[in-house]
Chains A and B, each alone.
Chain A
Amino acid sequence: MKVVVLVKQVPDTYEKRSIALDTGMLAREASENIVDEIDERVCAVAAELKKAGTATEVVAVTMGPAGADKAIRKVLALAADSAVHIVDDGLAGSDMIQTARVLAEAAKDADLILSGAESTDGGGGMVPAMMAEILGRAHIPYADSIEVAEGSVTAVTNTDTQKLTLSAATPVVVSLTEKAGEPKLPNFKSIREAKKKDITVTSLADLGVAAGPGAAYVRNVMVSAAERPPKEAGVKVSGDTAATELVDFLATRHLI
């Protein structure tokens, strides 16, 4: 079974993250880009599938600016046998629909597409569903665990009120929550082996996909961006009237 793992580079959550006000896009130079932690968990799941012999090939697919090699090598050390890196100026500022179209094309020959449920930066959580729609495949969203057999995938998804056990025949797209796998650090042997693995750099033309505003049938448009307003000082309540003041505060905001 061929497994594709979708990988996103995101700004390190431990560093300051910011938006470039002129473009409304993420200021990538403001912090170091790392493999999204959720994707490391997805890699752990893929590595288990490979260890069990269920996955015969694991390919990491990522879309993003050139120079993502460090992050890609990490994924190669964790789980993937090879990687596809889609680099194209036409992809700058891609919205979720465009991202899904491009990734779907690059991952279409996979029996199982695995992704994180939501990225740490954008947090849209819709790309996997869109990919499934575009490819005409089943999608199991927000899976806390999966079991893979030849020809089918069974996953457990927990909603606020229910625990759902969902099955689908392959090919299928599954997005995983952080409960699905524990991220592991690659050992030195894997790091060295990762250096020998192939990273295929591909463009929109190679994939045969048109992108950019002209090719979009629906598109997110950034109207304006502004600095986050500074935090205002809070209200201190103390003394005998503290409880009443607190209740009033909450009540006027319809919080109780």
Chain B
Amino acid sequence: MSIDHLLDEEQLALVEGVREFTQDVVAPVSAKHDKEKSFPYEVIDQMGEMGLFGLPIPEEYGGQGGDYFTLCLALEELAKVDQSVAITLEAGVSLGMMPILKYGTEEQKQQWLPALAEAKQLAGFGLTEPAAGSDAGGTQTKATLDNGTWTINGNKEFITNSGTDITSMVTVTAVTGQDEITTIIVPTDTPGFTAEPAYDKVGWNASDTHPLTLQDVQVPEENLLGERGRGFANFMGILDEGRVAIAALATGAAQGCVDESVRYAKTRTTFGRPIGENQGVSFKIARMQARAYAARSAYYAAAMKIVAGQPFKTEASIAKMVASEAAMDNARDATQIFGGYGFMNETLVARHYRDSKILEIGEGTTEVQLMLIARSLGL
């Protein structure tokens, strides 16, 4: 159940296109990549061709000239069927490209954005560290500037899109002085930069996530992204937007669970009738649908504020929390409806069950969102 009246003709056409793409190209290989924990290069390549990675990027940098809301709509469609593919897009755009677009120099934008917008390359954002998660200010990676060269040392954790064959750079946050955090662009072929072996995760198996080691990594001074010392403030802005994108992704997951459950409830029969004729099942699905709808309403509202240039921080937190909980709750219910089949890894609902937990953790845990919402109330 979409909220069509809030979308214009072009957005509706895009949603339809992405839906078709998801069914034709993504769905047939999702279970395979999940099982093999392989990165879906062939899918990402076609998403690049379709312009999905360039959606909110202006045309002069090789993008599609859409906006952040449009990106969110695409994320929702993809996540109905494959959260790994959706998070690859989400991180590729909102963490990989948006920092360059927002804070980069003209030269940096020209250098990096066109190839990223076509998914010929991917970029990551190295923020989280062993001792700096929700408390991002606890960053320990250090960078020093000598004779026009940054030397960076440190470790990063859980960095999405940082180790694929097409990853070209990672923007890292580093301490550059007393209470001073700065963001610096590190091309992945720089000596001393290592993407360590991929994690063994509970879900998002086809998404590329690595710990990073930076040992005496040297990059030119001009790789500074944005103002020196503004790194913390800058990535907070990036995270706020990212939360809305994650909310869109989570809405897709929640809706994917509804769609799959409806299909199953109509075809699976027990005791001589489809299980959907039992209120024990139909009420469960009705509640799932309501959760997905509420999640969608919340992320639409937040995304529309972004596009209108209005403050959206609290809306982003609410959307992120509501949608990620909807995804997890719906995944649990859908798995229950599927019974034993829902416990089989190859089913979509089992994948959503494994994939959705991280939605309540990444881009600010539910607890961080509650903290921010409470703060907005003066508490």
| A interface list, Cβ under 8 A from B | 70, 73-74, 77, 184-189, 191-192, 195
CB-CB < 8 A to A186: which residues of B?
13, 17
**In whole angstroms, what is the CA distance A73 to B11 when docked?**
13
- The residue on A at minimum CB distance from B55 is A188
- The residue on A at minimum CB distance from B18 is A185
Given contacts A73-B9, A195-B9, are A188 and B59 in contact (CB under 8 A)? Answer: no
Q: Interface size bucket, B side?
A: 10 to 19
Determine if A185 and B20 form an interchain contact, defined as CB atoms under 8 angstroms apart. Answer: yes
CB-CB < 8 A to A73: which residues of B?
9, 13
Q: Among B13, B18, B49, B51, which residue has the most Cβ atoms of chain A within 10 A?
A: B13
Given contacts A185-B20, A187-B51, are A74 and B64 in contact (CB under 8 A)? Answer: no
Query: What are 28 A-B pairs at a CB distance below 8 A?
Result: A70-B13, A73-B13, A74-B13, A184-B49, A185-B17, A185-B18, A185-B20, A185-B21, A186-B13, A186-B17, A187-B49, A187-B52, A187-B64, A188-B10, A188-B14, A188-B64, A188-B65, A188-B66, A189-B51, A189-B59, A189-B65, A191-B10, A191-B13, A191-B14, A191-B17, A192-B10, A195-B9, A195-B10
How far does the Cβ of B247 sit from chain A's closest Cβ, in whole Å? 21
Q: When A and B form their complex, what is the total count of cross-chain residue pairs whose Cβ atoms lie within 8 Å?
A: 40
Contact of A77 among B13, B18, B20 (CB under 8 A): B13
- The residue on B at minimum CB distance from A74 is B13
Name B311-357 residues within 8 Å CB distance of A: none
**In whole angstroms, what is the CA distance A150 to B10 when docked?**
36
CB-CB < 8 A to A70: which residues of B?
13
How far does the Cβ of B104 sit from chain A's closest Cβ, in whole Å? 22
> For the complex, is B50 an interface residue (Cβ under 8 Å from A)?
yes
**In whole angstroms, what is the CA distance A3 to B2 when docked?**
38
CB-CB < 8 A to A185: which residues of B?
17-18, 20-21, 50
> For the complex, is B209 an interface residue (Cβ under 8 Å from A)?
no
- The residue on B at minimum CB distance from A187 is B51
**In whole angstroms, what is the CA distance A74 to B66 when docked?**
18
**In whole angstroms, what is the CA distance A195 to B14 when docked?**
13
> For the complex, is B70 an interface residue (Cβ under 8 Å from A)?
yes
- The residue on A at minimum CB distance from B9 is A195
